[in-house]
Each structure stands twice: as structure tokens, then as C-alpha cells.
Amino acid sequence: MSYTIKTLNKIAKTGLDKFGEGYTIADDAANPDGILLRSASMHEMEFPESLLSIARAGAGVNNIPTDKCAEKGIVVFNTPGANANAVKELAITSMLISSRKIVDGINWANGLTQDVAKEVEKGKAQFVGPEIEGKVLGVIGLGAIGVLIANAAVNLGMEVLGYDPFISVDAAWGLSRAVKKATDLKTIFEKADYITLHIPYNAQTKGTLNAEAFAQMKKGVRVINLSRGELVNDDDILAAIEAGTVGGYVTDFPNEKMINKPGVITIPHLGASTPESEDNCAHMAAMQTKVYLETGNIRNSVNFPNCEMPLSGVQRITVAHKNIPNMVGQISTALADAQINIKDMINKSRGDYAYTILDLESVSSEESIAKIKAIEGVLRVRVI
Ligand SMILES: NC(=O)C1=CN([C@@H]2O[C@H](COP(=O)(O)OP(=O)(O)OC[C@H]3O[C@@H](n4cnc5c(N)ncnc54)[C@H](O)[C@@H]3O)[C@@H](O)[C@H]2O)C=CC1
Ligand SMILES: O=C(O)C(=O)COP(=O)(O)O
């Protein structure tokens, strides 16, 4: 057994150490079995035939063409929740720095040269800003991060409204009963003093906060975006700041338009930059990759279903395929034609794609594997 892992970003050593014997890890591997990355964009990349999996050490997968990967039978993983606490802490920080004029105050104080103590007392009145206790926070997206923030804000004495039409059962279980459900974005826009976004960036969520949204918001609302820059329309929020509708914008995704703008605080994408999160994400990404390469079991994929079965039999075959009728029938017929008995099997689907694991009582023949590969809708066959 030997596998090659390519890294596209710096991945915490504690995670890479999990691969252990039989693995070569390099940032310039030509024909990797697996790729590990953080925010590097893979949209323009060619995928080598050797590539079986991609693991995003983090939450957002908008930097990976997940459908294109699925079509090639490449399983893409992320690490749900592994960096959520780091983002929660930065979101609370962001609410505070959007409210109290801490950043401006620090910059001003650093520019003082003489009679500093006296000048501080004279000048501090220009940096007054409101407290967050008693104010209304609107949380858009109640996943791993949104739930933690909503609960923390309740504990800080805020009134919290949450909006997530697709909330998972687990997330709902974790949410404080004090968090009120908003059934539409309008309610959040009209009531919130602070709005924080915790949704993925995709074609549906692009520009969630735009001129139409800002027009419905309370005057002076503070907006926090630690999710992705594209969720907020840059020109529209700058206009809303200029008009006084938005009282402050904190973004973890600076660009040329946002730098050095009054009312905008730019953070250099630090949401997940804590040693704890970097270790958690790397650990999960490495373990999910190792398990997939060595057993074919899928845990925490974003483009294929989760599908796990304990190893049994003398050989395992995994088939990534389209979610269309009669795939399992055709695969088992190909094996039966070669007198191969199936000891155990599992089939799961997710959207347009599905995955089948078969543990065999005898070793398959090249001919039967070729037959499975030739079935229309089969994307990738592995013999483990
Ligand atoms: N700044 C940073 O360093 C980090 C940023 N992120 C960003 O935060 C996002 C969220 O992360 P997690 O909470 O871990 O993901 P998650 O997948 O646990 O939660 C996302 C939630 O958004 C909800 N959602 C999806 N579309 C929605 C819509 N149109 N309206 C309302 N809710 C919607 C989903 O139902 C889900 O509950 C990531 O996709 C990523 O873009 C995540 C980690 C670090
Ligand atoms: O997990 C995410 O979605 C993030 O945005 C974190 O990005 P990073 O791993 O710090 O480049």
C-alpha cells in the first residue's frame, strides 16, 4: 500500500502526521491519490487520472468545482464544524469592533507622540460606541457556526433572531430556546441592530445583502460578513454606509473596493486562523482521506453520499455512479456472470450521484471489473 498526497495550502502537521507509513506528502506531487487544501482555488486546475479524493480542511467548498469532481468520480470532503468555534469568537469580536470604535481608537492612539495620557483623556470622546447587550442580532444561516454565535449572543444578553430554511435536525437541537425563528429575511432586515451571515456562497446566495435588502434595514445596522465576500454586494453596501443605513461593516474578505473605506473594517480572512481550528481541520481532512483511500468508506463528503461499511470478504469493490435506476442490478449481474458472490453491500445516493460498496467472497476478475466500468452511468470503480 502506498499513496501520494498533494497539499495546495499549508496544512497543520498534526493532521499530516495522521497519514503515517506508506504515504508520501508533497506540494508538487504530479500524480496524487488525494489532495488536501484550504482556500486555494481549484476551478482552473486539471485533475490527474490518479486523483481519487480532495479534502478541504475547512468548511467552504466554493473554491472547488464539486460537480465536475463528481463527474470524474472524485470524492470531495470538507470538515464540518472543525473551525466553527474560531469563527464564533471572531464574530463576537466583529460585533464589538463594529460597535465600539476600537479600531479607530487604537489607530488614533498609536499616532500620539506627546502628552499621551493627557491627549487620550481629551480625545476619547470621539470614539464612543454602543454596547451590544439588549440589542437585536439577526443570524442568517444556523449551521455549525451560526448556532454557536446565536447561543453566545444570547449569553451576552442579546435578543437573537435566526433564519435558516434548511436547518438540520442536529443544528436545531443545539440551538438555545431563547433564539427566535425568523421565517423570512425581511424580518431579520427590519428588526436587527446587528446582522451576521453564516451561509455558504453559491449561485443562490450570491449578493444576499444587496440594495433591496439594505433598504429594508434599520438605520445604523452593523453588518458582519465572515462567510464570503460575494454574499454582500460591494457597491450596494458602500452606498448604504454613505447613506447612513449601515453603521458599520466588518468583512473577513477584503478587496480593492473595501480597503480604507470609512465604516468598513477589513480582516484578512482570519476566521479559521487559530492553532486549534487548523489542527482540527487538518486532522479531520487527513483522517477522512486516509479512510477513503484505504477502505473506500465515505464520511463528510460534499458531492457523494456518506457511505460506510465495515470491511469483510476477500476483496472490496467501490463504484461511484450516477443516481439512476438499475445500477446495483447491473453491477451485481456483472459479478454474478463471473460466478462471484457478494458477501455484503451498501448503496447510498445523494442528488444526482450514488455510491456502492461491495465486499466479495472471492477475488474479482479483470473482465468483471471492465464490465462494471463499461456500465453507462458508472463514474469510477476501485478495487481495494
Ligand atoms: N471566515 C472564515 O475563515 C470561515 C468562513 N466560513 C464560511 O462560513 C460558511 C458557513 O460555515 P458553517 O456554519 O461551518 O457551514 P454549515 O454548512 O454548517 O452551515 C451553513 C448553514 O447555512 C444554511 N443555509 C444555506 N443556504 C441558506 C440560505 N439561502 N439562507 C439561510 N440559510 C442557508 C444551511 O442550511 C446551513 O445550516 C461556510 O460555507 C464558509 O463560506 C467557514 C469557516 C471559516
Ligand atoms: O473554512 C472555511 O470556509 C474558511 O473560509 C477558512 O479558510 P482558510 O482555511 O483559513 O483558508
3-46 pLDDT, tens digit each: 999 999 999 999 999 999 999 999 999 999 999 999 999 999 99
- 87 Cβ inside 6 Å of ligand 1: yes
- 56 Cβ inside 6 Å of ligand 1: no
Crossing angle of the two packed helices 102-110 and 116-123, in degrees rounded to 10: 150
- 227 Cβ inside 6 Å of ligand 1: yes
325-328 contacts: CB < 8 A, separation 24 or more?
Answer: 327/354, 327/356, 327/375, 327/377, 327/378, 328/356
User: Of the ligands numbered here, which is closest to the C-alpha atom of 56?
Assistant: 2
Q: Which three cell numbers stand for residue 5?
A: 498526497
46's CB contacts (< 8 A; 6+ apart) are none
Q: What is the mean pLDDT of the chain?
A: 97
Residues 50 and 131 in one domain: no
- 59 Cβ inside 6 Å of ligand 1: yes
pLDDT digits (tens, 9 = 90+) for 112-133: 999 999 999 999 999 999 999 9
Which residues span the domain enclosing 344?
305-384
Q: What is the dihedral of CA 316, 32, 286, 14, to 10 degrees?
A: 140
- 240 Cβ inside 6 Å of ligand 1: no
Residues 1 and 109 in one domain: no
Residues 79 and 142 in one domain: no
Number of H helices, E strands in the chain: 13, 16
Report how far residue 384's alpha carbon sits from residue 379's, in angstroms, rounded to the nearest whole number. 16
Per DSSP, helices labelled H in 76-215 are: 84-99, 102-110, 116-123, 144-155, 169-174, 185-191, 211-215
Residues 114 and 251 in one domain: yes
Residues 119 and 215 in one domain: yes
Split at pLDDT 50, 70, 90, the class of 1 is confident
Q: In sequence order, what E strands does 300-377 have?
A: 315-322, 342-350, 353-360
Distances in whole angstroms, Cα of residue 262 to Cα of each of 73, 104, 241, 249, 307: 47, 10, 8, 9, 50
CATH code of residue 312 = 3.30.70.260
pLDDT digits (tens, 9 = 90+) for 67-117: 999 999 999 999 999 999 999 999 999 999 999 999 999 999 999 999 999
Residues 109 and 218 in one domain: yes
Residues 42 and 71 in one domain: yes
Q: Atom 29 in ligand 1: which residue has the minimum CA distance?
A: 205
The HSE-up count of residue 151 (CA atoms within 13 Å, CB side) is 17
Q: Ligand 2: which residues within 6 Å by Cβ?
A: 38-39, 58-60, 83, 269, 271-273
Pocket test for ligand 1, best of 198, 209, 267 (most atoms within 8 A of CB): 198
Q: Atom 4 in ligand 1: which residue has the minimum CA distance?
A: 271
